[in-house]
Amino acid sequence: MDKANNTDILPLELKDVNFEVGGMRLIKDMTLTLNAGSSTIILGPNGAGKSLLLRICHGLITPNSGSILWRGPSRNEAGIYQAMVFQRPVMLRRSVAANLHFGLKSRGTPKAERDRIIDDMLQITGLTRLARSPARALSTGEQQRLAIARAWSLKPEVLFLDEPTANLDPAATHAIEETIASIKQSGTKIIMSTHDLGQAKRLADNVLFLYRGRLLENAVAADFFNRPKNDLAQAFLKGELLWWNRKELKTPAELKHRDVLKK
């Protein structure tokens, strides 16, 4: 399915973005540019700020300071041209097809076009045989495929995915990765977080590596996986455990970055 709009809301620019809760900064001085035409994978250990960054970019969370700038439309208008799928999607109390129909109708898509798009989405995601099944009765993997189909049916220019294959078996993960590849091929920008290094290698064009709310590396995927510049990124790729508390730094790599990380 081809992307229908030509709004060109990308690039997305974040400048000195900070977000804090209870006096603790969870996103710190985030400055980056997300361009069209490539898939961006966000990596980092638990608590790095991956999901928070996605929500801030999508507009669900307002940062305490800094700016988020889409090309062309205002931030609110840009929301029409981007979508997000969460790790645990919410299914409406209706059939699989009706879940797709609801979003398209809400967007004002003509009925004849709605029916065609729903058929396409069901076929591409392998859910045609389940079209009349209750969405909440689907398996976790099937629900995630439906959530992605529901978002993609709106033809977004940007699709944010928050660990869409977490806790799924290899077969379900493969099916979703194939769908993501199709979405990218259609022209939609993928911005996705994952904890799975193998998946990141399969899907990434660019990698953002986060740790404790900071962007420590922003690199082309091949460079990141073969020659990471940051010590903590090197440790992460080696499978070393990166964890911390507010009083103590835990790894040799962290000690090298003590001055940066404590800010």
Residue spans of alpha helices (H) in the chain = 50-58, 75-78, 96-107, 111-124, 140-152, 170-185, 197-203, 221-226, 231-237, 252-256, 258-261
pLDDT band at 79 (very low <50, low <70, confident <90, very high): confident
pLDDT at 225: 97
Residue 8 has pLDDT above 50, yes or no: yes
Cα dihedral sign, 185-189-194-197: positive
Take residue 156 and report the two structure tokens written for it. Answer: 């977004």
In this predicted structure, what is the pLDDT of residue 260?
A: 47
Is a pLDDT exceeding 60 seen at residue 219? yes
- Write the DSSP symbol of residue 249: B
Instruction: Look at residue 156 and tell me whether its pLDDT is greater than 70.
Output: yes
- Confidence at residue 80, expressed as pLDDT on a 0 to 100 scale: 85
Residue percentage of the chain with pLDDT more than 70: 87
The rounded distance, in Å, linking the Cα atoms of 180 and 226 is 24
pLDDT, mean of residues 50-67: 96
Neighbouring-strand partners of residue 211: 214
Domains annotated for the chain, with CATH where assigned, are 12-87+164-261 (3.40.50.300)
DSSP track, 157-215: SEEEEESTTTT--HHHHHHHHHHHHHHHHTTPEEEEE-S-HHHHHHH-SEEEEEETTEE
37 — pLDDT class (breaks 50, 70, 90) = confident
> What pLDDT, on the 0 to 100 scale, is given for residue 39?
96
Give this prediction's pTM: 0.88
Residues 230 and 256: beta-carbon distance below 8 Å: no
Share of the chain above pLDDT 90, in %: 79
Q: Averaged over 243-252, what is the pLDDT?
A: 50
Over residues 89-110, the mean pLDDT reads 94
| Residue whose C-alpha is closest to residue 14's, from 166, 191, 245 | 191
pLDDT at 239 over 80: yes
Q: Is the pLDDT of residue 6 over 60?
A: no
